[in-house]
Amino acid sequence: MKRTLMAALSVTAMTAALAACGTGDDGSGSSGGGGSSDSLTVWLMDGSAPEPWVTELNQAFEAEHGVTVDVQIQQWGGIQDRLTTALSEDGTVDVMEIGNTQTVGYANTGGLADLSELRDQPWNSNMLASAEIDDTLYAVPWYGANRVVIYDKQIWAEAGAEVPTTRDEWITALETIRDNTDAEPIYLPGQSYYVLGGFIADEGGSFAVEDGDEWKGSLNTPEGQAGMEFYAELQSFSDSPTDNDEASPQQSTDIVPNGNVASWIGLGWEANGAIEALGGEADFGYFPVPGKTADQLGNVFLGGSNLAVNERAGNPELAREWLALATSQEWAQKFVDANGGGVVPNRTDVTANPEAGSFAEAMVASADVGFLPPLTTGWANVEAVPNPIKELMTASLNGEDYASAAQAADSEITTRINRE
């Protein structure tokens, strides 16, 4: 029977620093042996959890179970190949963090253990959907994060611009900055397609939709065009070329510290990177991406990670015990608190209380509003270079006919997404 994903939550980097911890880990991303009767091997991604939280959790677990927990820190670069190898071998790793967009692919290969006994916990529904396929739970939600608008308070005050609560007010603020300062009102790359996805979701659309047992691209629609038109309106206030994305050049370290940028859309780690690059002298404010009306924030690309147990774990029962403890109400609350409230909680019985005026406050405000890209094994093919959505964006920004460009993009998306 073909597995169909109920919904999706995708991955993005977190802001918290994670140092190497656990027995024998030097932070190099080594792939040592999995657990035995007296040990457990856990892979966590670089930047996913504060060291004090990991250390305290493992001390509690080791004291209760009389075992050693070996946490090995993995880098995001090349992680899919390392996970594929680990899941094909006996006892390499017991518990692993997996980006939400990756979960369905590994579950479909049979690499992840059935965790349905943990289904009846008060999980965040968006996060739960990314870990569940055909009512079978293959991972457990761990954390979420999303983008917000980051702005230079001094430039906005100089211009007399006000923090917006709607799309129209957002455009008015950018016009005010343009007319009253020499600053670039907003830096928005031509190909920030996750941002575009939020605008399309605001219109009720998506990148692709299910078509029977398959998927098909859905950009050549009124919703897709309306989302692109608003993106183009914002991008007209930017000096960015139409053919670059947010990764190249890196907006947080290459653009913002070297230019007179009044605002940009970014993640928490990007805001921190810009502050560091500016020598700690930045005076940033933050607000959620505005929606079409004041009572509805704009959709944002939701990010995060799941925790899963290797189907071929050396100690599957111990792995389940560690995962259940790490995602329990007690330790999930400690995880959120250790991050200063700067993550979207994985459970409804956990609360985030970020500092007023912080990035985290703006991010958490958008936690319940998000667009979810199609989560199928074939979605990775769509995101591969050259990404047809990015090519559509550049073509549209360069004045090409939207319908023609979107039709070509949809055809490519349909071909790629159905190729596993």
pTM given for the model: 0.82
Residue 13 in any domain: the answer is no
Write down the pLDDT at residue 323. Answer: 98
85, part of any domain: yes
Residue 321 and residue 278 share a domain? no
Domain assignment present for 338: yes
Q: Are residues 385 and 410 in the same domain?
A: yes
Q: pLDDT at residue 419 above 80?
A: yes
64-75 tens-digit pLDDT: 999 999 999 999
| 200 and 322 co-located in one domain | no
pLDDT band of residue 5 (cuts 50, 70, 90) is very low
The three-state DSSP-derived secondary structure of the chain is CCCCECCCCCCCCCCCCCCCCCCCCCCCCCCCCCCECCEEEEEEECCCCCHHHHHHHHHHHHHHHCCEEEEEEECCCCHHHHHHHHHCCCCCCCEEEEEHHHHHHHHHCCCECCCHHHCCCCECHHHHHHHEECCEECCEEEEEECCEEEEEHHHHHHHCCCCCCEHHHHHHHHHHHHHHCCCECCECCCCCHHHHHHHHHHCCCCCEEEECCEEEECCCCHHHHHHHHHHHHHHCCCCCCCCCECCECCHHHHHHHHCCECEEEECHHHHHHHHHHCCCCCCEEEECCCECECCECCCEECEEEEEEEECCCCCHHHHHHHHHHHCCHHHHHHHHHHCCCCCECCECCCCCCCCCCCHHHHHHHCCCCEECCCCCCCHHHHHCCCCHHHHHHHHHHCCCCHHHHHHHHHHHHHHHHCCC
**Tens-place pLDDT, residues 321-335:** 999 999 999 999 999
> What is the predicted pLDDT for the residue at 108?
85
Domain match, 259 and 337 both: no
In a domain, 367, yes or no: no
- Same-domain check for residues 341 and 395: no
- pLDDT for the residue numbered 375: 78
Tell me the pLDDT of the chain averaged across its residues. Answer: 89
Residues 154 and 129 in one domain: no
Which are the contacts of 186, defined by CB distance < 8 A and separation ≥ 6? 174, 234, 237, 238, 261, 262, 263, 264, 265
How many domains in the chain? Answer: 2
Q: Do 55 and 194 share a domain, yes or no?
A: no
Report the CATH number that the domain containing residue 404 is assigned in CATH: 3.40.190.10
In sequence order, which residues have a C-beta less than 8 Å from that of residue 157 and are 6 or more positions away?
none
Domain co-membership, 265 together with 313 = no
- Which amino acid is present at 350? V
| 294 within a domain of the structure (yes/no) | yes
Judge if 87 and 139 occupy the same domain.
yes
Once rounded to an integer, what is the mean pLDDT over residues 288-303?
A: 94
Indicate whether 167 pLDDT > 90.
yes
The 10s digit of each residue's pLDDT in 214-223 is: 999 999 999 9
Residue 14, pLDDT above cutoff 80: no
235 and 267 housed in the same domain: yes
Please tell me the predicted confidence (pLDDT) of residue 37.
Answer: 65
pLDDT value for 302: 82
**If we measure between CA atoms, which residue out of 188, 186, 183, 189 comes closest to residue 154?**
183
Q: What pLDDT, in 10s, does the model give residues 50-66?
A: 999 999 999 999 999 99
Together in a domain, 153 and 252: yes
252 and 283 part of one domain: yes
Can you tell me the mean pLDDT for 71-86? 91
Higher pLDDT, 115 or 77: 115
Taking the C-alpha atoms of residue 35 and residue 45, their distance in angstroms, rounded to an integer, is 18
Domain range holding 306? Answer: 39-145+302-355
Residue 7 lies in a domain: no
Q: pLDDT exceeding 70 applies to what percent of the chain?
A: 91
pLDDT bracket for residue 38 (50, 70, 90): confident
